[in-house]
Amino acid sequence: MKKVLHLGLKTTNILLTIAVLIILPVVVFTLISSKTNIIYGIQSFVVLTGSMEPNLLTGSVIYTKPVQNYSKGDVIAFNQADRTITHRITEVKGANTYITKGDANNTQDSDPVSSASIIGKEVFTIPYLGSFILFLSTLWGFILFIVVPIAIFIAFEIWNIKKEIDYHIAKKVLEKSFQGSKYEKINFN
């Protein structure tokens, strides 16, 4: 039973480490790129509506990057009326004006988009990540996915340190108990 518990704890520790090494960088990159475009010009946004479904699902994260020229069919993020919108270019009107439309919408957007208001073109998208990030911003999400894993990770490390201390104490006790005997030259390492 003790071996099964130890194997379960070791497996949990490995899974948590993998999760931290894979998921944490993606979440940190997304959080940084949601506030600024300092990482290769990439900026991220959570898709909050279904206007681009089924191509961009609600709750996805879209990563955008500014480019020199935008073309018909490009999915772009742009600022309009103090909000960020992600729609597809359906028509190019001159060098600096674009007509856009959400894939799920019946009509084109009423206001044309100037190149000055475009944040960037879609580089890639991660489905459902936005829902996870939005949940992380709640108290329960923060506790469940940040505080609890960190507490478990710290507990595992404290447990490993305790095992190491116990090993060294036992080693010292054995060394002292054999001092002066004919078994003194035994190497305990």
Cβ atoms of 47 and 86 within 8 Å: the answer is yes
Each residue of 123-156: pLDDT tens digit? Answer: 999 998 888 888 877 899 888 878 888 888 898 8
Each residue of 62-118: pLDDT tens digit? Answer: 999 999 889 999 999 999 988 999 999 999 998 789 999 999 999 999 999 999 999
Whether this prediction's pTM lies above 0.75 is answered by no
Single out the residue of 23, 17, 25 nearest to residue 150, CA to CA. 17
Tokens of 56: 């961009």
Greater model confidence, 118 or 174: 118
Cβ atoms of 62 and 77 within 8 Å: the answer is yes
**Domain coordinates in residue numbering, the chain:** 2-136, 138-176
Domain 2-136 bears CATH identifier 1.10.1200.10: no
Beta strands 75-80 and 61-65, pairing class: unpaired
Cα separation, 13 vs 23, in Å, equals: 15
Q: What is the pLDDT of residue 188?
A: 54
